[in-house]
Amino acid sequence: MATQEQPRPLNPVQSLAVRQPVIAGVLFIAIATGILLIITRQQLLFPFWSSIAFPMLAVSPFIVFALKIPTRIKLLLVLVVILLIIPYLGLKDSFYLELAVQIGIFAAMAMGLNIVVGFAGLLDLGYIAFFAVGAYLWGIFASKEGDTYINQIHAVTTPESFYLFLFGGIALAAIAGILLGLPVLRLKGDYLAIVTLGFGEMIRVLVSNLSNISSDPTITINITNGAQGLSGIASPPLPQFVFDAVGGIANLLGIKIGNIEGITYQFFFYFLVLFIGLIAALIAARLDNSPIGRAWTAIREDEIAARAMGVPLVRMKLLAFATGASFAGAMGVIYAAKQTFVSPESFSFNQSIFILVIVIVGGMGSIRGVVLGAVAVTLLNLQILPNLSLLLNSFKNSNEVSASVQNFFKSIPSQLEPAKYQRFVFGILLVLMMIYRPAGILPASRRKLEIDEQMGKAKDEALPRSDVEPEGPFITEDPNNAA
């Protein structure tokens, strides 16, 4: 196997993409899939090839949509990737499914944060708090530990009530969003950011300390189990035939599976997250393209003018906080059920920043952009950087490389492992993005609308955004110069 990546001949690739877009799209997907099918975990360069090919596969839907091919073929190709290739790869190696589920969870949350930051222009540095609200809602009610801490709370909730709690998580997060929104209505820019940051930390500190709320020293009323977190959280029950079906399909394809139950649940969460994520995207798109979305954009552009034009500031801002938060609430419930464990560590400030980075890198205000941002940043964080580290480690110990190469890699101190400076890479990524592509990978564009046509006929063409001023999220205009 080659140790170096072949320099990619750019011009033939471009001309193929222009002249034969269908072939180019299929070829792109096929190459990625092919690499993933050939490589095995025993190979020395597995981490390298898998961190090239899986991200290729994950961004292939975006590539396909960028090509000039009929919409029907685009949808077909995307469905093949999402419903056949990724599940098949997941059956062979469940890590790919895990990655896909993580991407889905972060994509849905980024779409929620995008409503607050991208559409309405309200910088929120504590967004992970709403994820925590959803996760702890299901965690408290569905863990056996919760049962022993609070009297028989578990008896009132069965694993089946998961779906009910999904809506509960949405509602509770929306309420939390309004609670955050109320005190920050008058704040803008930096001040708003600081308060939301405080709110996020408050929720985290709250769940770390709700391990005993009893004033009587002889009785312990433990709600969240503090820093240790809640474990043994129930997942929704699946009927037996689902497990049988997954086992049957695996047999049919000649794939040996050790833990049928685990892989089946991975599939369940993959499709659940896919489904909820699609609904979230649909809701975000519909909100964007409506009087509500226009009012949000107006608030983002000029608060004073928006109010003078009849936009009720309080209502619209609270609506943005509530709807944005509800996306994270739903994903929180799913996350708790998937991990079967929640602890305050999962809801740190870094996580809020992580989602904000997704939104900024993807393109503030652009739904497609933040989904692509979720793919890129999540894979960088969970696959590419850890794999790079793995690769360097394997160079140290593998017999396939010469002794001098081994010694060179042994001389690298473990403190310099790539996985250890993920935040550093994020920082560089952000700096580069802000300098070269301040509006994100897929920038938001305004819709072109036909005036007198019927809604359905209206063309939604993207306008070029070359005129966008480089404007960071922390720079806000001073709106107090109306006089």
Partner 1 sequence: MLLEAKGIVKKFGGLTAVQGVDYVQEPRSIDAIIGPNGAGKTTFFNILTGIYKPTSGTLTFNGKSLVGLSPDQINAAGISRTFQNIRLFNDMTVLENIMVGMHSRLRVNLIDTIFRLPRFGSQEVEVRRKAGQILDFISLTDKANEISRNLPYGDQRRLEIGRALASDPKLILLDEPTAGMNPQESVEAMGLFRRVRDELGITVLLIEHDMRVVMGISERITVLDYGQKIAEGDPLTVRQNPRVVEAYLGRGSAGSAGDK
**DSSP codes, 363-396:** -TT-HHHHHHHHHHHHHIIIIIHHHHHHHHHHHH
Stretch that binds partner 1, among 11-19, 210-218, 302-310, 350-358 (CB under 8 A): 302-310
Q: Using CB under 8 A, which residues numbered 317 to 356 contact partner 1?
A: 319, 323
Cα-based angle 72, 272, 225 (whole degrees, multiple of 5): 155
CB 387 within 8 Å of CB 51: yes
Residue from 1, 448, 460, 470 binding partner 1 (CB under 8 A) = 448
For residue 193 the two structure tokens come to 């950011």
Residue from 1, 79, 260, 304 binding partner 1 (CB under 8 A) = 304
- Cα separation, 462 vs 305, in Å, equals 25
Residue from 447, 462, 472, 475 binding partner 1 (CB under 8 A) = 447
Judged by beta carbon, residue 386 or residue 479, the one nearer partner 1 is: 479
Judged by beta carbon, residue 151 or residue 454, the one nearer partner 1 is: 454
CB 321 within 8 Å of CB 112: no
Does 7 engage in binding with partner 1 (CB under 8 A)?
no
Residue from 42, 215, 252, 467 binding partner 1 (CB under 8 A) = 467
| DSSP, res 237 | P
CB-neighbour burial class of residue 166 (10 A; exposed 0-12, middle 13-18, buried 19+): buried
Backbone angles phi, psi at 348, to 5 degrees: -80, 170
Does 452 engage in binding with partner 1 (CB under 8 A)?
yes
- Cα separation, 91 vs 250, in Å, equals 7
* Alpha carbon 237 to its chain's center: 25
Judged by beta carbon, residue 410 or residue 447, the one nearer partner 1 is: 447
Backbone angles phi, psi at 231, to 5 degrees: -120, 175
Does 454 engage in binding with partner 1 (CB under 8 A)?
yes
For tokens 């578990």, name the residue.
154
- Cα separation, 374 vs 108, in Å, equals 9
Residue from 44, 238, 242, 307 binding partner 1 (CB under 8 A) = 307
Does 5 engage in binding with partner 1 (CB under 8 A)?
no
Does 309 engage in binding with partner 1 (CB under 8 A)?
yes
- Cα separation, 334 vs 331, in Å, equals 5
Does 415 engage in binding with partner 1 (CB under 8 A)?
no
Does 292 engage in binding with partner 1 (CB under 8 A)?
yes
| DSSP, res 341 | E
Residue from 313, 419, 425, 430 binding partner 1 (CB under 8 A) = 313
Stretch that binds partner 1, among 3-11, 80-88, 300-308, 393-401 (CB under 8 A): 300-308
Does 385 engage in binding with partner 1 (CB under 8 A)?
no
For residue 57 the two structure tokens come to 């596969």
Does 310 engage in binding with partner 1 (CB under 8 A)?
yes
Q: According to DSSP H, which parts of 39-127 are helical?
A: 46-66, 71-79, 86-92, 94-113
Shortest distance, position 467 Cβ to partner 1, whole Å: 6
Stretch that binds partner 1, among 91-99, 228-236, 399-407, 462-470 (CB under 8 A): 462-470
Stretch that binds partner 1, among 142-150, 163-171, 285-293, 389-397 (CB under 8 A): 285-293
Shortest distance, position 310 Cβ to partner 1, whole Å: 3
- Cα separation, 379 vs 57, in Å, equals 11
State the binding string over 254-283 for partner 1 (x if CB under 8 A, else -): -----------------------------x
Stretch that binds partner 1, among 86-94, 126-134, 334-342, 454-462 (CB under 8 A): 454-462
- Cα separation, 233 vs 227, in Å, equals 16
Residue from 160, 190, 261, 450 binding partner 1 (CB under 8 A) = 450
Shortest distance, position 356 Cβ to partner 1, whole Å: 20
Does 308 engage in binding with partner 1 (CB under 8 A)?
yes
Judged by beta carbon, residue 283 or residue 429, the one nearer partner 1 is: 283
CB 110 within 8 Å of CB 371: yes
Sign for the CA dihedral angle at 381, 357, 294, 458 comes to negative
Residue from 34, 312, 427, 470 binding partner 1 (CB under 8 A) = 312
N-to-C CA span, the chain: 70
Does 483 engage in binding with partner 1 (CB under 8 A)?
yes
Q: Give SS3 for 416.
A: helix
For residue 419 the two structure tokens come to 């996985």
Binding stretches for partner 1 (CB under 8 A):
283, 286-287, 290-292, 294-295, 297-298, 301-302, 304-313, 319, 323, 446-455, 458, 463, 467-468, 481-483
